[in-house]
Amino acid sequence: MSKSPQNVEVIKGGGIRGDVDGHRVAVGSRRLLSGIGVALPEELGTYAEQRERVGNTVVFATVDDRLAGILSIADQIRPEAAAAITTLRRKGVKQFYMLTGDNRHTAQLVADQLGIDHVEPELLPQDKVRIVSELKEAGHRVGMIGDGINDAPAIATADVGIAMGAGTDVSIQTADVILMGNRFDQLVHAYSLAKATVRNMLQNTFIAIGTVVLLLTGVLLQQVFMSTGMLVHEVSVLVVILNAIRLVRYRDKSIDRLHPSPTRNPVGRARDKKEERATPQPAK
């Protein structure tokens, strides 16, 4: 029976190491190797770069400060991501940035497949915060979406922080918006719903102010009396309420084009979130 690791240490932006059966074991990126003083042979460095160029993330394993193995890991792109980004761009999102701690080859490959404008690879959490802050200082309104611990500081820094429903607790607690469906196309729904809410508020404001102006004008011209005024006012209140209730059944038709099956409102699905967390997830 294997023993649990002892003296586990997380190396910020690099990896993790600990003692296993009397051996010092470390797993992480190139940054980890340089941090603990392990040299990477030229031929293995070439092999690792070849794996990165085809879209893999390379992870190095060391035992007692000696390179013991190279692991090649590939994440699958969410099938709805490309269509969702295209739809968001059509709806008014001007620029897309990929802020990732992954290597530049894998990041660029993913960005090319998704049509992302700017790629910033091999970033630490503070680097993501710096880039988000620079975009805000340049006058841009920034929305940051992520699901990991490393994304949480940037999510908190952005104008609108968005977390995936199956993400880490710290990213969820930091975010302003949580996509409970854990699908990227739900961001399209959230964006469209936000726009529809603002339009609805403007409509209701116009109805309310217009009714007041109409009643005041009628009173000054002695054309509106108390009973009539009260009736018109109550009708306007009812119209405002009914207009706001329409948002409960709001549905963006572009979501149906992205995902043909019925898409439920991502707001208030705490039960789904608990079920997702109760289901064991395969390790990457």
Q: What is the mean pLDDT of the chain?
A: 82
Q: Give the pLDDT band (50/70/90) at residue 32.
A: confident
Q: State pLDDT tens for residues 183-223.
A: 888 888 888 888 899 999 999 999 999 999 998 898 888 88
Distance CA 96, CA 92 (A): 11
Residue-level pLDDT at 142: 93
Q: Give the pLDDT band (50/70/90) at residue 136.
A: very high
Q: State pLDDT tens for residues 61-85.
A: 999 888 888 888 877 788 888 888 9
Residue-level pLDDT at 11: 77
Q: State pLDDT tens for residues 107-123.
A: 888 888 888 999 999 88
Q: Is it the case that residue 165 has pLDDT exceeding 90? A: no
Angle at 168 between CA 101 and CA 280, to 5 degrees: 110
First to last CA, the chain: 23
Identify the CA nearest to 266 among candidates 170, 158, 194, 168: 194
Contacts 24+ apart (CB under 8 A), 146-153: 146/171, 147/171, 149/125, 150/101, 150/124, 150/125, 151/125, 152/125, 153/125, 153/126, 153/128, 153/129
Residue-level pLDDT at 258: 54
